[in-house]
Amino acid sequence: MVNMSQHMERDYGLEKDDKISNSVIRRLPVYLRHVQTLRAAGIQTISSQQMGVQLDMNPAQIRKDFAYFGEFGRKGVGYDIEYLEHMLLQILHLDRQIGVALVGAGHLGIALSNYARFQSERITIMALFDNDPVKIGTHIGDLIVQDMKFLREQCHDRNIEMGIIAVPAAVAQDVCDRLVEGQVRVILNFAPTNLRVPKHVILRTTDFTTELQALAYYIAR
Amino acid sequence: MVNMSQHMERDYGLEKDDKISNSVIRRLPVYLRHVQTLRAAGIQTISSQQMGVQLDMNPAQIRKDFAYFGEFGRKGVGYDIEYLEHMLLQILHLDRQIGVALVGAGHLGIALSNYARFQSERITIMALFDNDPVKIGTHIGDLIVQDMKFLREQCHDRNIEMGIIAVPAAVAQDVCDRLVEGQVRVILNFAPTNLRVPKHVILRTTDFTTELQALAYYIAR
DNA sequence: TAGATTGTTAATCGATTAACAATC
DNA sequence: TAGATTGTTAATCGATTAACAATC
């Protein structure tokens, strides 16, 4: 009995984030983007059925994904677009500013810094680093490229929550370690290499080479 | 009996590529990269056990992935690194040149054109397009930026097999349609938008915004 | 031969889809 | 009320992992 009650308390404590799978999480931004498009078009309500057709997805999956986070819809009616957008933003923590450190001021880094600013104001690149003396001190947008030796302290002092690695593979692990030392817990890596992070750090690697090579499989078939 | 023989013939025709799942295919470039690292370090043989530790993967999964494509290993010994690399390159069609058209000569496009050349010589960007009159005619590496109005005919005439979309979301569908008209069957899209392609075209979308937003979920937890 | 490791079948796990009662 | 659509449980599908006979 004691065991059971402890177990239930623990479940209650974790509440809604009771291990939502990554597959679900990665679909949320897709829903968000679509909902924003619909709102811009002046649409006010949508059913999972309609959304399924528009996004080429199974309507049951859409309903189930939403239901993990509460009851957003109205039976017989569908989902209110504005409310749905509000909830998706909240779930993804995009209802408040998220500070990001971007490491690497090459073409990819510059592309990313433009991109992120345009697309989603709440994810804000607060600091940009490189180790090239020629680049350090130059302006990119409204950011100044800083020496990588300040990476750790800047992340820590400014409470930066996310790191983006856009440097060559050879130095990616070093950059990654510095981010972790600076208390960054969520890292997006674009370098084509397998990075090692402590268990408490979330790392996602997505690199061009791997994507292209995987797609090459489908050629000539 | 006639039906059965037809069915078997069809299976035989599909042979080894009898629907290997995308999850498997996407791991192949990871194996390839690792095997190349090992070879560069002068290592000649590896077991699925060792590889599992190094890549933080289940050894049974590694063996099963390889086994879809034949018997590469030696029982009691492991896999010959050089032979494994050879086979992975062959499976991914990286043993011959693959012609790529890159659309978008912004920072992302330039980053991609550097990247792809360095990493894997066989995936070759053969043509680069943009619709900005200022960029058209300029050199990027050893490529000249061409007007997008030549996209379709160039892809068709030069037998380009893969397309990369690195343009803003607003024009991505138009670019995509032109690639398809030019007989390109495999497309990697970096624009944050849901593109429509005919069934016979393989499309993979990977965009920064979606990745960042999905990762934002894991912040503050 | 003894020890190691593959290739493959069976068991498990997890994610997607179908079905339907609840209800707007 | 009748028709529509959600939220959720059950069924299905697919992918991962364990286990082990075959064999180097």
* Best CATH choice for the domain B98-211 from the list 3.40.190.10, 1.20.1250.20, 3.40.50.720, 3.40.50.300: 3.40.50.720
By Cβ distance, the residue of B34, B94, B220 closest to A213 is B94
Q: Are B194 and B205 in contact (CB under 8 A)?
A: yes
Q: A112 pLDDT band (50/70/90 cuts)? A: very high
Protein residue closest via CA to C1' of D16: B61
Strand C close to A47 by CB, under 7 A: no
What pLDDT does A121 receive? 72
Strand D close to A144 by CB, under 7 A: no
pLDDT of residue A186 exceeding 60: yes
Q: A14 pLDDT band (50/70/90 cuts)? A: very low
**Which class in CATH covers the domain with range B2-91?**
mainly alpha
CB contact under 8 A, A32 and B110: no
What pLDDT does A115 receive? 79
Domain ranges of chain A: 2-91, 98-211
What pLDDT does A12 receive? 33
> Cα–Cα distances in Å, from B176 out to B95, B148, B188, B209?
27, 12, 10, 20
What pLDDT does A10 receive? 30
Q: Are A164 and A188 in contact (CB under 8 A)?
A: yes
What pLDDT does A220 receive? 78
Q: Are A68 and A144 in contact (CB under 8 A)?
A: no
Q: Per DSSP, which regions of B92-147 are E strands?
A: 98-103, 123-130, 139-140, 143-147
Number of CB pairs, chain A paired with chain B, less than 8 A apart: 166
Strand C close to B48 by CB, under 7 A: yes
Q: Are B200 and B170 in contact (CB under 8 A)?
A: no
What pLDDT does B7 receive? 29
Protein residue closest via CA to C1' of D17: B60
pLDDT of residue A52 exceeding 70: yes
Strand C close to A77 by CB, under 7 A: yes
How does DSSP classify residue B153? H
Q: From first to last of its 221 residues, what are the pLDDT tens digits of chain B?
A: 233 333 232 333 333 446 899 999 999 999 999 999 999 999 999 999 999 999 999 999 999 999 999 999 999 999 999 999 999 999 999 999 999 999 999 999 999 998 766 556 789 999 999 999 999 999 999 999 999 999 999 999 999 999 999 999 999 999 999 999 999 999 999 999 999 999 999 999 999 999 999 999 999 75
Give me the CA B22–C1' D14 separation in Å, rounded.
12
By Cβ distance, the residue of A29, A161, A220 closest to B214 is A29
Strand C close to B60 by CB, under 7 A: yes
CB contact under 8 A, B108 and A106: no
Residue B28 to residue B120: CA distance in whole angstroms: 14
Contacts of B202 in chain A (CB under 8 A): 215, 218
Q: Are B166 and B102 in contact (CB under 8 A)?
A: yes
What pLDDT does B114 receive? 86
Closest chain A residue to B161, measured at CA:
A219
Contacts of A93 in chain B (CB under 8 A): 216-217, 219-220
Using alpha carbons, select from B69, B70, B88, B85 the residue that is nearest to residue A214: B88
Strand order, beta sheet including B202-205: B139-140, B143-147, B123-130, B98-103, B162-165, B186-189, B202-205
Using alpha carbons, select from A138, A150, A147, A152 the residue that is nearest to residue A110: A138
What pLDDT does B185 receive? 96
Contacts of A106 in chain B (CB under 8 A): 111
Span of A92-101, A124-133, B3-12 with lowest mean pLDDT: B3-12
CB contact under 8 A, B186 and A218: yes
Contacts of A215 in chain B (CB under 8 A): 162, 186, 188, 202, 204
State both tokens at B204.
């993979």
pTM of the model: 0.90
Residue A26: nearest nucleotide (C-alpha to C1'): C15
